[in-house]
Amino acid sequence: MAPPEGPLTLWKLNHRNESTNPRQRQKNCVVKNFTIDKNVISTYFGGNSVIQKTVKRRGIMNFARFCWLNASKFPNREFIIESYPSKNLRRAITWKELNDQTNKMANFMMKECGVKKGDIVVHLMMNSIEWYVAYMAVLKTGATVTPLNFRFASSDIKYAADVTKCKVFILGDTFLPRVEPIMKEMGYVKQYICQGETVPSTMKSYKEIMDKGNPANVLIETEDDDMAELMFTSGTTGAPKPVCHTHNTLFYIGIGNALTYNEGYNSVYLAPHPFYHSGTLFLSFPSYIAAGKILMPMEIQPKYYLRSLADEKCTGGWNTVPVWSDVINAIRTGEIDLKDYDLSAFKHIEIGAQPVPYVLLENSKKVFPHLPIANIYGITEGGGGGLTNCYDEDIMRKPGSVGKATAFMEAKVVDDKGNDSPPGVVGELMLKGPRLMKEYAFNPEMTAKTIEKGWLHTGDLAYMDEEGFFCFVDRAKDLIIRGGENIFPVEIEGFLLKHPKIQDVAVMGYPHPRLVEIVMVVIQVREGETLTDEEILEFCKAKDLAKFKWPEKMIYAKIPRNPAGKIEKPKLRDTYVRPAKEAMEKEFKKGG
């Protein structure tokens, strides 16, 4: 296969012959501009340890290269599909179209905006084919792509832009009301590119670039450790932090997830959640690397959601707890009939981004008794979803377990002094492997505190059982200490979700003058139901929950969740906890 015309730098792996002798194969293999893990090389050459000493790490390919590579092999094969069953509509992009469109955008940014290696481009769009095009186009230029949370307010957007000092800002027209008011404060942005029907005169039209742009191949050479992406964390644990992943880590993330979930060319991968989130995006990489397909169900109401899966022959993917719960509940209540959907191609489902209630797993098995289900754990800093995984054969016998570390990764639990915790003892979960972020961009102090001797501090509390399975307990910062007793909110949330009248629940500490903290629950009651404090306490008593864990403050309200499905506890704390804490502090001052 001849390389295309244009400034395209590729790696080469040439075999002069296919000798069965490992040492001869080692001698005859020439590797240029490609990073290969020493364990992979060792396996490929027959496991001879001498091989590990001979591979020189020189620099990995630009991760955007698969746009061209797959287009050259499968030009007319569909890659991304948007599905709108209620409108009887679908949009799709082929590999040739993806490569052409990313080239047009990359050439425009390089020639008209001066974008070069080392620059940063901010990217604020809703899930769409254009989202993926813009993301890969930035990588082709050698610059760093920074996809933002589409829920960010103007202040969040400006914060991220200020941190990155982005040269170009790509946005959907939906976000104009949030971006236009702050444009004067972002003088470092040289060009705004707007996708949609409404394009201000101060911005360049995305559509015009697609209509008139130069499709000549472009792919700027990158090195192993070059910054590829900055992902601002969702902010559920404080101010968003810019997590830096390199071209190398993105590649390992893709290969690791392919090995863990058997994803590749034959996949029609389910991607219902926002691409700016490391779960959805990173778990889609096996399909991107191997020329599989990505299905974006644009309507997540259960009847439309399942219609998308059935019509597009979806093979599996990752769901958050709320979305999958809605599907299971709709089936169990008779709202939808599974007989109306051909899901024979659907081979697996992963659930994660938050602790998975055991009752959801039980109900899922009743509805889909033969569907493999996995409990998945991930963190953006560690390389997104799929860092640990509890497979189907263990998921029902290991309640609450997120399994074991996946391909390339290691995990352990340590105490507050950094010593390994014995089985059954709660400590901090630590991760190690080639998927880890390079750093928190522009913050070496925080990076040094977060990554020590190659191990990432996750900030998550967990324990390892006697069989080596990891069990997520809670976020360290969410721990409730009631009169000296440690209480883990996740445990109580999972317990209360077994109540038939409870749709959703959030548990957190509430200030108390003597005990310091007590358990507060915010309960979202199922539609059409009513619930009282007395019923909750009677449920705790009947189901034998330890009394010190019983809720002592109960509020009935809708639970806010971000697009990744995580409970937005900072919002709940601001609404219910902070005022009570301030009032209690005033009383203390009066008493003093």
Q: Which helix (H) or strand (E) holds 516?
A: strand 516-525
How many degrees, rounded to 5, is the angle at CA 386 between CA 442 and CA 419?
Answer: 70
**294 contact partners, CB below 8 Å, separation of at least 6:** 79, 80, 81, 132, 268, 269, 271, 284, 287, 288
Write the class of the CATH domain 485-591: alpha beta
Residue 161: φ, ψ to 5°: -65, -40
Alpha-carbon separation of residue 289 from 62, 105, 257, 264, 426 (angstroms): 12, 21, 11, 8, 38
Residues 388 and 391: their CA atoms lie apart, in Å, by: 10
> Do the bridges between strand 384-390 and strand 480-482 make them parallel or antiparallel, or are there none, so unpaired?
unpaired
CA dihedral 313, 317, 320, 322 (to 10 degrees): 20
229 alpha-carbon distance from chain centroid? 13
pLDDT score at 13: 31
> For residues 479, 482, 485 and 489, what is the CA-based torsion angle, rounded to 10 degrees?
-30
Q: What pLDDT score was predicted for residue 567?
A: 87
DSSP conformation class of 570: H
- Amino acid identity of residue 288, one-letter, is Y
Distance CA 462, CA 450 (A): 17
Nearest to 429 by CA among 378, 391, 466, 481: 378
Task: Give the chain's length.
Answer: 592
Residue located via tokens 């029609």? 268
Q: Are residues 193 and 206 in contact, defined by beta-carbon separation less than 8 angstroms?
A: yes
This prediction's pTM: 0.79
* 546 vs 491: CA distance, rounded Å: 11
Annotated domain spans of the chain: 12-53, 394-478, 485-591
Question: pLDDT tens digits for the chain (592 residues)?
Answer: 444 433 333 333 333 333 334 333 333 333 333 333 434 333 333 333 332 333 334 445 899 999 999 999 999 999 999 999 999 999 999 999 999 999 999 999 999 999 999 999 999 999 999 999 999 999 999 999 999 988 888 888 999 999 999 999 999 999 999 999 999 999 999 999 999 999 999 999 999 999 999 999 999 999 989 999 999 985 444 567 899 999 999 999 999 999 999 999 999 999 999 999 898 999 999 999 999 999 999 999 999 999 999 999 999 999 988 889 899 999 999 999 999 999 999 999 999 877 788 888 999 999 999 999 999 999 999 999 999 999 999 999 998 899 999 999 999 999 989 999 999 999 999 999 999 999 999 999 999 999 999 999 998 889 999 999 999 887 777 888 787 677 888 889 989 999 999 999 999 999 887 777 899 999 999 999 999 999 999 999 998 887 888 999 999 999 998 877 778 888 898 899 989 888 877 776 665 4
CA atoms within 13 A of residue 574's CA, in its CB half-sphere = 8
Both tokens assigned to 549:
């864990």
Q: Which two three-digit tokens encode residue 488?
A: 């883990």
Asked if 407 contacts 255 with a C-beta cutoff of 8 angstroms, the reply is yes
Q: For residues 564 and 442, what is the distance between their CA atoms, to the nearest angstrom?
A: 26
Longest dimension (CA), the chain: 86
Same fold, 394-478 and 485-591: no
Q: Any idea which architecture 394-478 has in CATH?
A: Roll (2.30)
CB 304 within 8 A of CB 86: yes
Beta bridge partners of 481: 486
pLDDT of amino acid 60: 52
Res 21: pLDDT: 40
Reduced to 3 states (helix: H, G, I; strand: E, B; else coil), residue 433 is coil
